[in-house]
């Protein structure tokens, strides 16, 4: 049977390549098989800018792009931020498909790889195969681009019913849609259906995910442990195993799983950040320091860049600054100050972050026994804290307590501990007060009180829903408010793992529908 010729002249291309000669060569090759709408970018940053402004069908992106974003980071940002249509194709071009590169890029699933050297013939052959495979899923992609996930699920079912070579891939598409739609029972049945056809690790992993969402943690743990044992390169199994352990407050085991994941795939900013966070909880400062340092380095050109990586690294370095004499202590201090300088340069206009940096400067000075310098930073911090009134975030209150403790101001530190340390705060009382305010129609007071109540490290689902409902009620009463919508977004992020069989699920869905109305305004 003759294969239909692909009309490349109807498609819009972008080539992202830093070397002029290879960029020009690729463009000429594209023209030879009919592509005449081809744009180019000389760097990852320029590529992202053009992708945002354009509407590209096919992206050809080199992995190595010199200074700035590399190909993996371009891929991450296009996927994470939804910069490309579901029907668009993203192809990574590599000089060599190293394990680190493949493992890093795999998590954001490029449509294909093309390895250098490239000829006109092998480029066209590889692209033809990728485009034809993509065309088999065009109905699914069209539904996703139209934001009609239910129609996308139906389109998957049509492909599955045909039992073609695309059946398994359609199953996988459908499983992702069902998980996103929080239809966990259907997803679990699908994963089991796939396993009856043949054993595939991602299907078994999916069963584990559904078990986790259904609060069957022991079952989920057993599945993830088995997958990790089967193949130590199964990074997602290690990630989910860490997630289960963390939910059980078993942070040493969570850290162990994350260390395995990072060993296999070290280029993930989010994974390094999580390893740093968990290492801080276990007070393994050396592991935390390494993880946060890597997260800062990787994050410089990543869409996952975060101020928390800078503050996390600075905090992890305090152990060396305080306890290591000589050069190790001095080097740690120098790194801490440089990290804070970078933080202030990039985030200094954000009040919370600027305050956190000032507090950490005070702690750094105190741990060097520079008392007068520490007192200057503490005085400056306290002055800023006064401006917050009762709205100082808990994490900044705790940071202030730790800074005061480092400077041997234990009495003052204790006052901050009493007010902001989650182990000393009665969050149930705060939640009850918020409910009283809400019933009395004092919605502003309710929002403020619930905001404090949900700073509990392990807030109840009911408390988070109470906070969400208060925000939405205030939106209904007073109209659009970006801060309230931001609060709702934060609360729903905390609830993303709520199980469909949870008694609060119906309330969650109702509030989420109301929130979407305001989110779109």
**Bond before 117 cis per omega within 30 degrees:** yes
> What pTM was estimated for this model as a whole?
0.81
Whether the CB-CB separation of 304 and 269 falls below 8 Å is answered with yes
Helix ranges (H only) for 198-306 are 201-213, 217-230, 235-247, 251-264, 269-281, 285-299
The predicted structure's pLDDT at residue 116: 86
The single residue listed with the structure tokens 């239909």 is 4
Distance, CA of 69 to CA of 53 (rounded, Å): 18
Tally Cβ neighbours within 10 Å of residue 227: 20
CB distance 254 to 245 below 8 Å: yes
Q: How far apart (Å, rounded) are the C-alpha atoms in residues 241 and 161?
A: 34
Q: Each residue's pLDDT tens digit in the chain (521 positions)?
A: 446 678 888 999 999 999 999 999 999 999 998 898 999 999 999 999 999 988 899 999 999 998 999 999 999 999 888 889 999 999 999 886 666 666 666 677 889 888 888 988 889 999 999 999 999 999 999 999 988 999 999 999 999 998 788 999 999 999 999 998 889 999 999 999 999 999 999 999 999 999 998 889 999 999 999 999 999 889 999 999 999 999 888 999 999 999 999 998 898 999 999 999 999 999 999 999 999 999 999 999 998 899 999 999 999 999 999 998 889 999 999 999 999 999 999 998 999 999 999 999 999 999 999 999 999 999 999 999 999 887 888 889 999 999 999 999 999 999 998 888 876 667 777 888 889 899 889 999 899 889 888 887 778 888 899 999 999 999 998 888 888 888 898 898 888 877 776 677 888 888 988 888 776 54
Residues 6 or more apart in contact with residue 449 via CB below 8 angstroms: 430, 433, 434, 437
What integer pLDDT is reported at residue 2 of this predicted model?
47
Task: Give dist(CA 448, CA 149) in Å, integer.
Answer: 36
Using CB atoms within 10 Å of the CB of residue 158, give its burial: 0 to 12 exposed, 13 to 18 middle, 19+ buried. exposed
Look at strands 89-94 and 112-115 and give their pairing. Answer: parallel
Taking every pair of C-alpha atoms in the chain, what is the biggest distance, in angstroms?
Answer: 83
Please give the pLDDT value at position 486.
87
| Residues 6+ positions from 384 with CB-CB distance below 8 Å | 351, 354, 355, 358
What's the token pair of residue 64? 């190595």
Beta-carbon count within 10 A of 386 CB = 9
19 Cβ contact partners less than 8 Å away, ≥ 6 residues apart: 62
**Beta carbons of 60 and 90 less than 8 angstroms apart:** no
Could you give the CA distance from residue 504 to residue 501 in angstroms, rounded to a whole number?
8
Q: Can you give the pLDDT at residue 102?
A: 64
Half-sphere exposure of 385 (CA within 13 A, CB side): 22
- Residue 443 CB-half CA count within 13 A: 13
* Residue among 178, 206, 180 nearest 192 (CA): 206
Q: Which long-range contacts (CB under 8 A, 24 or more apart) does 91-100 make?
A: 91/58, 91/59, 91/60, 91/61, 91/126, 91/127, 91/130, 92/61, 92/62, 92/63, 93/17, 93/60, 93/61, 93/62, 93/63, 93/118, 94/62, 94/63, 94/64, 95/63, 95/64, 100/265, 100/266, 100/267
Helices 269-281 and 235-247: crossing angle in degrees, nearest 10, is 30
User: Which ranges of 35-180 does DSSP label H, i.e. alpha helix?
Assistant: 44-53, 71-80, 99-106, 120-135, 138-145, 149-162, 167-180
Task: Reduce the DSSP state of residue 78 to 3 states and report it.
Answer: helix
> Which residues is 465 bridged to in the sheet?
none
Of 26, 19, 17, give the one whose Cα is nearest residue 44: 17
Backbone φ, ψ for residue 161 (5° rounding): -65, -30
Structure tokens at 39: 């744009």
Rounded to the nearest 10°, the torsion over CA 430, 435, 439, 441 is 50
- Give the domains, in start order, of the chain with CATH numbers: 9-135 (3.40.50.2300), 427-519 (1.25.40)
Q: What is the pLDDT of residue 51?
A: 93
Q: Could you tell me whether strands 58-62 and 38-41 are parallel, antiparallel, or unpaired per DSSP bridges?
A: unpaired
Write down the pLDDT at residue 104.
Answer: 63
Q: How far apart are CA 355 and CA 359, in angstroms?
A: 6
Give me the residues paired with residue 58 across strands.
13, 89
Q: Tokens at residue 223, please?
A: 């599945």
Q: How many CB atoms lie within 10 A of CB 411?
A: 7
């Amino acid at each position: 049977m003759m294969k239909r010729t692909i009309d490349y002249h109807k498609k819009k291309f972008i080539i992202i390549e830093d070397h002029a000669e290879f960029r020009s060569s690729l463009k000429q090759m594209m023209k030879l098989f009919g592509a005449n709408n081809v744009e180019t970018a000389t760097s990852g940053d320029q590529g992202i800018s053009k992708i945002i402004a354009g509407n590209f069908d096919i992206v050809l992106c080199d992995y190595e792009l010199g200074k700035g974003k590399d190909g993996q980071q371009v891929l991450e940002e296009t996927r994470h931020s939804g910069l490309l249509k579901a029907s668009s194709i993203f192809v990574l071009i590599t000089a060599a498909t190293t394990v680190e590169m493949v493992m890093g890029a795999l998590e954001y699933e490029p449509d294909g790889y093309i390895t250098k050297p490239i000829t006109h013939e092998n480029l066209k052959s590889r692209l033809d195969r990728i485009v034809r495979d993509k065309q088999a899923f065009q109905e699914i992609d069209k539904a996703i681009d139209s934001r009609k996930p239910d129609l996308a699920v139906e389109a998957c079912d049509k492909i599955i019913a045909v039992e073609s070579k695309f059946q398994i891939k359609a199953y996988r598409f459908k499983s992702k849609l069902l998980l996103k739609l929080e239809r966990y029972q259907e997803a679990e049945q699908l994963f089991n259906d796939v396993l009856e056809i043949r054993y595939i690790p991602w299907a078994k992993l999916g069963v584990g995910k559904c078990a986790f969402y259904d609060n069957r943690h022991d079952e989920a743990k057993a599945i993830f442990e088995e997958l990790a044992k089967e193949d130590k390169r199964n990074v997602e199994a290690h990630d989910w195993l860490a997630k289960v352990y963390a939910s059980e407050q078993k942070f040493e085991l969570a850290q162990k799983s994350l260390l395995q994941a990072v060993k296999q795939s070290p280029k993930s900013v989010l994974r390094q950040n999580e390893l740093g966070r968990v290492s801080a909880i276990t007070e393994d400062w050396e592991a935390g320091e390494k993880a946060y340092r890597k997260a800062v380095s990787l994050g410089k050109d990543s869409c996952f860049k975060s101020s928390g990586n800078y503050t996390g690294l600075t905090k992890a370095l305090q152990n060396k600054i305080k306890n290591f004499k000589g050069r190790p202590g001095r080097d740690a201090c120098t790194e801490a100050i440089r990290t804070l300088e970078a933080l202030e340069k990039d985030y200094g206009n954000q009040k919370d972050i600027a305050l956190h940096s000032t507090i950490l400067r005070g702690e750094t000075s105190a741990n060097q026994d520079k008392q007068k310098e520490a007192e200057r930073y503490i005085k400056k911090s306290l002055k800023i804290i006064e401006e917050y009134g009762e709205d100082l975030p808990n994490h900044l209150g705790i940071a202030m307590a730790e800074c005061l403790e480092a400077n041997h101001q234990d009495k003052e530190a204790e006052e901050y501990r009493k007010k902001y340390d989650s182990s000393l705060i009665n969050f149930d009382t705060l939640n009850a007060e918020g409910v009283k305010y809400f019933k009395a129609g004092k919605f502003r007071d309710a929002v403020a009180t619930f905001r404090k109540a949900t700073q509990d490290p392990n807030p109840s689902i009911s408390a988070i829903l109470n906070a969400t409902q208060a925000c939405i009620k205030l939106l209904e009463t007073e109209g659009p408010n970006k801060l309230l919508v931001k609060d709702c977004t934060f609360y729903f992020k905390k609830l993303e793992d709520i199980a469909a069989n949870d008694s609060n699920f119906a309330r969650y869905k109702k509030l989420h529908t109301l929130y979407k109305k305001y989110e779109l305004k």
